[in-house]
A and B are shown apart, each in its own frame.
Chain A
Amino acid sequence: MAKTPTPAELLPGLSYKPPEKGWMDVKPDFRPGTYCNPAAPKWMEWINYPYPAARSIPEDNWELPKDWKEIVLQGMEDRLQRFRSLKVFFDICVRCGACADKCHFFLGTGDPKNMPVLRAELLRSVYRRYFKTIGRVLGEIAGARDLTEDVIKEWFFYLYQCTICRRCSLFCPYGIDMAEMTLLGRELLASVGLNIDWAMASVAQCYDKGSHIGAPPQAFKDMVDFLAEENERITGINTMPSINRKGAEVLFVMPSGDYFADPGTFTMMGYMLLFEHIGLDYTLSTYAAEGGNFGWFISHEMGKRLNAKIYAEAKRLGVKWILGGECGHMWRVCNQYMSTWWGPVDFLEKPVSPITGTKFENASVHKMVHISEFTADLIHHNKLNLDPQRNAHIKLTFHDSCNTARGMGILEEPRYIINNVLPEGNFVEMPPNTIREKAFCCGSSSGINANENMELRMQGGFPRANAVRFVHEKYGVNHLGCICALDRATLPTLLEYWVPQVEITGISELVGNALIFPDELERTTDLRDRDLVGFGELAEEAGEEEE
């Protein structure tokens, strides 16, 4: 694996000045550390994806099928006919450049082809050449170019340097959405066998076993058992959930990152404590053990093939409604596509909180409630017994996940929870141009959180880390909160690189820390076994001194 340059090596080389040569003449530099490995054939075979082959990026020959050009052009035509978005976005860009310095990959790499406008032109130039008379006739001067293998390689390079975060789309005067074009462009790549291994492996595992991490049912149960034991060890409370239980009121679906690895696991422990605290009648599923959806990072169809399991399982188990954990792209998928893909969800009921009686009118059709909405509602109705002092060691700032911020608009709920589980003054915001709908992406979402492209990830996450460092230095922030499992998976690496003093936490972990149970053990540590400030021995000593 390529050695990742240090921050001090990376930044001085960063410049936003484009090269002398015109962009059509510049080929991508497939330097180790900047691209993801192509998908191993076995994953593609698992899910019947076309043209599996052992490929290598540095090789000239990418093992494209013989008629790759026809396939791609036919695919583009099909998508133009099926997606008005693609047609309109191809036709109406005026290249004003408002999107340019909004993209974290452009800001992190300085590569002009990471300006969303130019990333789109990589596709658009081919569209003009084959679907527009003027491009057919005038060629380059009309911004058109032939579809060659080099163009395909360029697509592969740059469409996997877009995390479909939509920050560009927010600033575009016409709402042109690079995310949409990236997704459809990736579909074209997949149609000739080009996929990335990290995403494809997760997809195949999820398809076959139930989650991206590829845990079979017994392993899933082991992990959940372990987290329940951890909860019991720390709080004395038995939080063991039921698994695949028919007739539960609620099916809880979380991203696999939450039960797989730190710090996501602490968020999972937080969920379990919360549900135990309120006595929620819920179950987990080993079959729908994945809320996240790497399939959507490859194609709309694959997204649907993975997502379908959630409703199917809810139907089989006969639950009333679905509760969803903290995850960004999971929620973008559930919000934008889920009920459209599935059709009417008549086997579930309109979600009603059994604790507060709140009817979640905003989820009346797709019947899935976000954990932040659910928790905020509980707090609002005073149903949780909380001690914010148990989070006194945490000075928090909050990172809005791109998908929940710009794909649905969950901004206030997590902040409301934070303000109720943290002591006053322990929560500060990052600069306003870097949060809420203007949030910067973690730089590793959309299936590119692999290891082999670490340099790229650190570059892409630089704008986010830069804002975190600002509040770290100014206010002493030591934790970055988020409601996204990919954030919890990727931001620790990013901050370790740029701002090593800041840790990542899910919001439900903070809730778990703060919950008071009547019959709990005396709490001296948080869910991560770190000493609480002002509790336990230290507090007793302080108390004795006062006496």
Chain B
Amino acid sequence: MDFFKRHFFVALSAVLGLIIIAYVGARGNLQLVFGVVVPYMAALIFVEGLVYRVIQWARSPVPFRIPTTGGQGRTLPWIKRDLGDKLDNPSDTPHLIGRMALEVFAFRSLFRNLRTELVKDPDNPEGARLIHWSYKWLWLGAIAFHYAFLVVILRHLRFFTEPTMGLVLMLDKVDGFLQFFTPAVYLSGVVLVAAVGYLLFRRITNPAVRYISLAADYFPLLLILSIGITGILLRYFFKTDIVAVKELAIGLATLHPKLPANLSSLFFVHLFLVCALFAYFPFSKLMHAPGVFMSPTRNMVCNNRWVMHVNPWNYPVKFHSYAEYEDKFRDAMIEAGIPVEKEQ
């Protein structure tokens, strides 16, 4: 089996394995395990893992201030800098916050994406040339996916709160505004599955991306895709008992877990996949979410020349001192009429 197949099928098998485990468990009277124990464990691993990993990163210092600058820097006061320059090359904290906000909420760097291709060009002696154009599909897929996922997660809060928060109810309305199908179809669910589908499709069909992809890249996509599909099935096709789900969720949230009787096996599959995602999160590339906040090329003010950055492990180095240098070249320097410290 080649590299791609090995990595893809391992990821696929892992997700199918999780589904089977949950299904078998739910059928086999392990509902307490999959409904209560696993969710608590997953939540614990998620929180502890996340905190642990971020602390691990933070333990290493940032020895140098190395922001990647994407616009005109602050130099002479009359040199024109528009808002884009100030955000892509921030010289103060407010603009740095702006830069990070754009990065986190709008995926600014990905928005910049270009595609470069080698095209045939008979006018050139070599027969080809490079062309570059703006390419926003990856940005669109990524942002659609992340926001849809966010909305889906927020919507699920209605299971955890009684009475349901106004914000969640409002989101519910907006998300289902199409009033299509019963119960009303949530756009976010559709967008989520479509966007994850696109990202997976792209990963498999783009030769360069497929070449670099690991099981760890397919696994989260397949996992989230499965979560989305099971969720859609639960809402529209194999309708789950919402009251029972809410009872379970509130029990978990208030630390008084209760296991309602009439929860379907499909629901346990959905729940288990979500738990798997949470538990997997801190040990995977999904850590890019907290990681982007700690990326030194993005989270630092570009002010090296007027605010000194201190390296905690800075140490003195041996360099060729002027005295040694002059000792070596004194005669030649005197002969050439170059001033010296010692005339002998």
Q: Which residues of A contact B (CB under 8 A)?
A: 7-8, 10-12, 14, 16-18, 20-25, 48, 80-89, 91-98, 100-102, 107, 112, 115, 117-118, 121, 134, 140-143, 166, 169-177, 180, 207-210, 216-218, 221-222, 243-246, 286-287, 300-301, 304-306, 308-309, 312-313, 316, 335-337, 339-341, 343-344, 358, 360-366, 368, 370, 373, 376-377, 380, 405-413, 416, 431, 433-434, 437-438, 462-463, 466-467, 469-470
Contacts and interface: CB of A to CB of B under 8 A. Distances in A.
Chain B interface size, under 10 / 10 to 19 / 20 to 34 / 35 or more: 35 or more
Report the 8 A-B pairs with minimum CB-CB distance, sorted nearest first.
Answer: A22-B3, A409-B73, A92-B291, A175-B297, A175-B298, A409-B69, A218-B336, A11-B126
Contacts of A405: 69
A211 to B, nearest CB: 12
Interface in B299-336: 302, 304-311, 313-314, 317-322, 325-326, 328-329, 332-333, 335-336
B295 A339 contact: no
A118 B212 contact: yes
B313 A82 contact: yes
Contacts of A89: 295
Given A406-B69, A437-B88, A98 B304 contact: no
Nearest to A222: B336
B338 to A, nearest CB: 5
Interface string B133-157: 1100010001000000000000000
18 contacts: A8-B127, A16-B118, A16-B207, A82-B313, A96-B138, A102-B116, A112-B211, A171-B112, A210-B325, A222-B336, A301-B317, A309-B320, A340-B309, A341-B311, A361-B77, A362-B76, A410-B75, A463-B130
B338 A286 contact: yes
Interface of B: 2-4, 6-7, 10, 53, 56-66, 68-80, 85, 88-89, 103, 107, 109-110, 112-118, 124-130, 132-134, 138, 142, 206-209, 211-217, 283, 285, 287-288, 291-292, 294-298, 302, 304-311, 313-314, 317-322, 325-326, 328-329, 332-333, 335-340
A8 B127 CA distance: 8
Contacts of A166: 68
Most buried by B among A8, A92, A102, A469: A92
Contacts, number: 345
Contacts of B212: 23, 95, 97, 100, 112, 115, 117-118, 121
Contacts of B61: 82, 84
Most buried by B among A10, A218, A304, A416: A218
A431 B320 contact: no
Contacts of B79: 376, 412-413, 416
Contacts of A81: 59-60
Interface of A is mostly: helix
B64 A10 contact: no
Given A339-B304, A368-B305, A437 B332 contact: no
Nearest to B335: A218
Contacts of B319: 207, 304-306, 308-309, 312
